[in-house]
Structure 1
Amino acid sequence: MARPPEFDREEAIASAIRVFARQGFEAASTRDLIEGIGIGRQSLYGAFGDKRGLFLEALRHYSAGSLAQMRVALAKGTAAESIKAALLVGLGSSGDVESGCLGVGSIVEFSRSDPEINALNDDAATAVVTAFAGRVRAGMEAGEFDAELDPEAAARMLLILRSGLKVAARGGASNSELGDAADLALCSIVRR
């Protein structure tokens, strides 16, 4: 009979996210993960199967957490205020290389070469677009946004901007620069 893991699975995944965000999938060795998580090799394999299994679970967990942060931001304030907050929440920074976006990092590292990673990233993107589109529709109904907007197209633009903001934050862009970019994007959908 297998022994239950002697570690907190959620903490282990959070630690793995930091290792993968810092190093990427390929560069993160099993040893790096074991040291970063603080568990033994057998525990890692017993709980996650292998490095890839751990990465997939970390990516799933990261995406869910990022979406939850965005949904909280989208629920507060006017449509424009909430969209700006959702664009800027949880971007990470160049000062903390472990705060990078695991989703964007996996897209850069794998492109479209891995069907399982593609599926996870596609599901995450669909959820983000759906969340943004709902808030854009609310802004249109309130007269805050241009009534002729295509909410899905606007939401896809916001998803692309958010991905770019994450890269810019990791590259050293200041909060002010990131906020200015979000403001400029919102100018394209605000009713004139």
Structure 2
Amino acid sequence: MVRPREFDREEALDCAMRVFWSKGYSGTSTEELLAAMGIGRQSLYNAFGDKRKLYLEALDRYQEQSVSEHIARLTRGSSALSGIKALLLGTIADNAIDRANGCMGVNSASEFGATDADVNAIRAGGAKRLKEQLVARIAEAQLNGEIEPQMNVEEAALYVGATMQSLQLNARAGMAPAALRRLAKFAVERLAVRS
């Protein structure tokens, strides 16, 4: 009896995530996944279940990583407003391939809309985590006099979130990095207290 080849599950999952991130769920074939992951069909089924389960696990992994990176940028700024600016600018990937891929979470919303409860739940979990940190940072900016105190914190957080999605969609559509950075800076300027 032939023993199945051993492989690193986490590494294989990262490879699958990159394929799904680039091509979406429907645009990715099982054969492409197997080639990228360097495993056989039976290993995929044994380790991950099926293509859908693999996609959900890859999306969850992507959300966890990207939201953690967003929160790190948001919270390490020298001021609350500079943290928000770092969050938006950090949404613009330095790597051309990652920039062209956009955001796997936003891409999943474009592909599935609100029709898939499992996909929605993964996106909602990440969005909730980021929004909590964003609301806190906006409130801090108001206390520090960086953002108008009468501005509704929840609406400002929605504005920043929508700007992030716009940056990611425009990056995927090929907008130049310099234009993306101008858009991010413009959005931050709309939040800042007017002198």
Give the alignment's TM-score, normalised by structure 2: 0.90
Alignment match, 1:125: 127
Alignment match, 1:84: 85
**Partner Cα distance (1:5, 1:134) in 2:** 48
Matched, 1:96 2:94: no
**Partner Cα distance (1:188, 1:132) in 2:** 16
Structure 2 stretches lacking a partner, 5+ long: none
Alignment match, 2:33: 33
1:91-112: per-residue Cα shift (whole Å, max 9, x none)? 4479416743110111000001
Residues 69 and 90, structure 1, Cα contact 8 Å, conserved in 2: no
Residues 92 and 99, structure 1, Cα contact 8 Å, conserved in 2: no
Alignment match, 2:145: 143
Alignment match, 1:154: 156
Alignment match, 1:179: 181
Residues 7 and 39, structure 2, Cα contact 8 Å, conserved in 1: yes
**Partner Cα distance (1:11, 1:94) in 2:** 20
Residues 4 and 43, structure 2, Cα contact 8 Å, conserved in 1: no
Residues 73 and 87, structure 2, Cα contact 8 Å, conserved in 1: yes
**Partner Cα distance (2:188, 2:29) in 1:** 41
TM-superposed CA distance for 1:40, in Å, is: 1.2
SS at match of 2:25: helix
**Partner Cα distance (1:41, 1:110) in 2:** 26
Matched, 1:190 2:192: yes
Alignment match, 2:61: 61
TM-superposed CA distance for 1:4, in Å, is: 9.4
SS at match of 2:146: coil
**Partner Cα distance (2:95, 2:114) in 1:** 26
Give the alignment's TM-score, normalised by structure 1: 0.91
Structure 1 stretches lacking a partner, 5+ long: none
SS at match of 1:21: helix
Report % sequence identity: 37
TM-superposed CA distance for 1:6, in Å, is: 2.1
Q: Which segment is superposed worse, 113-122 or 95-104?
A: 95-104
**Equivalent residue letter for 1:96:** I
Alignment match, 1:168: 170
TM-superposed CA distance for 1:90, in Å, is: 4.4
TM-superposed CA distance for 1:147, in Å, is: 0.5
**Partner Cα distance (1:117, 1:93) in 2:** 27
**Partner Cα distance (1:66, 1:159) in 2:** 14
Residues 80 and 137, structure 2, Cα contact 8 Å, conserved in 1: yes
**Equivalent residue letter for 2:72:** V
Alignment match, 1:43: 43
Change (3 A) 1:176 1:60: same
Please report the RMSD computed on the Cα atoms of aligned residues, expressed in angstroms.
2.0
TM-superposed CA distance for 1:59, in Å, is: 0.5
Residues 5 and 47, structure 1, Cα contact 8 Å, conserved in 2: no
Residues 91 and 167, structure 2, Cα contact 8 Å, conserved in 1: no
Alignment match, 1:13: 13
